[in-house]
């Protein structure tokens, strides 16, 4: 592992809009290779398009090939980057298939600089006592276990990068228990724990930086399913969060590590 240049790290309160503005250039992620899960829709799609517009070669992972192809076509039409598509149901991901994915990325690009673990399932909103075990297992596989498998498989590639990054996706219901949020909430509690544990393990021995981002209420299909009576125009579009995502995946954010961010708070300073 590469020793970090400094052990002095900043806290979330040190982040300013000036920090975020530094990364808002068309070459902020120039030449970087970034994996995005759930890249076919919502926040994942917005992130993939944003990272590519900033110069990154994006690895698009998702369940639905048609959606991934649409994102791929848009990136090809508007940027000079080289995206690839990896259709994959994260419910079926194993240690072996994650290692094969890592090998494929290494063979294609020879490097990896960032990972956005964005894909999540909402599951059912009902009490723990009534929760269907099969749905529980599927949500845990997609939201948590796949993040573990991908972290293990991709971390060696990230260690080679001068500024490797992993961004996990969390939620406010993963910080304080809320009735009827079931497996989704529990998976996000565990995601917070995964990030914190890994961050503590890496902080003195590696330049890889890891974080969680809680996007908060965002205009996505998952939000519409969770709050069917809500007017989608009352919550921000995924694109509004991208300054934070781009900054944390850029080398500019090296002094921040192991933080669980609230995107809406960071962007409303």
Q: What is the pLDDT of residues 196-242, one digit of tens each?
A: 999 999 999 999 999 999 987 666 676 667 767 777 777 667 788 99
Tell me the average pLDDT across 73-99.
Answer: 96
User: Whats the size of the chain, residue-wise?
Assistant: 269
CB 249 within 8 A of CB 114: yes
Look at residue 2 in the predicted model and tell me its pLDDT: 47
184 is catalytic: yes
Rounded distance between C-alpha atoms, residue 157 and residue 105, angstroms: 9
Other C-beta atoms lying within 10 Å of the C-beta of residue 228:
7
Residues 259 and 44 sit within 8 Å (Cβ to Cβ): no
Per-residue tokens: 192: 């917070």
Statement: residue 6 has pLDDT above 70 = no
Q: Is the torsion defined by CA of 73, 77, 79, 80 positive or negative?
A: positive
The yes-or-no verdict on residue 96 having pLDDT over 60 is yes
What local confidence, expressed as pLDDT, does residue 225 receive? 74
* Structure confidence at residue 266 as a pLDDT band (50, 70, 90): confident
Report residue 107's pLDDT band, with 50, 70 and 90 as the boundaries: very high
**Is 1 or 86 the better-scoring residue by pLDDT?**
86
Any residues with CB less than 8 A from the CB of 75 and at least 6 apart, and which?
A: 48, 49, 52, 58, 81, 83
Nearest to 71 by CA among 267, 253, 238, 245: 238
> For 147-152, which contacts have Cβ atoms below 8 Å and span 24 or more sequence positions?
147/117, 147/191, 147/194, 148/194, 149/93, 149/94, 149/95, 149/97, 149/98, 150/35, 150/37, 150/93, 150/98, 150/101, 150/115, 150/117, 151/115, 151/117, 151/194, 151/198, 152/95, 152/98
Task: Supply the pLDDT for residue 13.
Answer: 92
pLDDT score, position 168: 98
**Which of 184, 227, 245, 247 does the annotation list as catalytic?**
184
118-132, 179-193, 222-236: least confidently modelled range: 222-236
The CATH code of domain 27-266 reads: 3.40.50.720
Q: What percent of the chain has pLDDT over 90?
A: 84
Confidence (pLDDT) at 7: 57
* pLDDT number for residue 120: 95
Looking at residue 157, what is its pLDDT?
Answer: 98
Report the alpha-carbon distance of residue 37 to residue 59 in Å, rounded.
Answer: 8
């Amino acid at each position: 592992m590469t020793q970090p240049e400094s052990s002095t790290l900043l806290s979330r309160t040190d982040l300013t809009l000036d920090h975020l503005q530094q990364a808002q250039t068309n070459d902020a992620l120039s030449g970087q290779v970034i994996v995005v899960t759930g890249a076919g829709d919502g926040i994942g799609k917005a992130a993939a398009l944003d990272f590519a517009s900033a110069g990154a070669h994006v690895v698009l992972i998702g369940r639905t090939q048609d959606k991934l192809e649409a994102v791929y076509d848009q990136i090809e039409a508007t940027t000079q980057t080289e995206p690839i598509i990896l259709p994959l149901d994260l419910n079926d991901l194993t240690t072996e298939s994650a290692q094969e994915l890592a090998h494929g990325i290494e063979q294609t690009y020879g490097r990896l600089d960032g990972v956005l673990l964005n894909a999540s399932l909402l599951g059912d909103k009902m009490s723990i006592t009534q929760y269907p075990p099969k749905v529980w297992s599927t949500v845990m596989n997609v939201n948590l276990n796949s993040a573990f498998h991908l972290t293990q498989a991709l971390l060696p590639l990230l260690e080679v990068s001068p500024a490797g990054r992993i961004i996990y996706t969390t939620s406010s219901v993963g910080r304080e228990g809320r009735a009827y949020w079931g497996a989704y909430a529990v998976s996000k509690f565990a995601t917070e724990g995964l990030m914190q544990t890994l961050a503590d393990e890496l902080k003195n021995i590696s330049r890889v930086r890891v974080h969680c981002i809680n996007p908060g209420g965002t205009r996505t299909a998952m939000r519409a399913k969770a709050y069917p009576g809500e007017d989608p125009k009352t919550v921000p579009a995924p694109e509004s969060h991208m300054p934070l995502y781009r900054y944390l995946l850029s080398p500019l954010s090296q002094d921040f590590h192991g933080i669980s961010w609230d995107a809406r708070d960071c962007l409303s300073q």
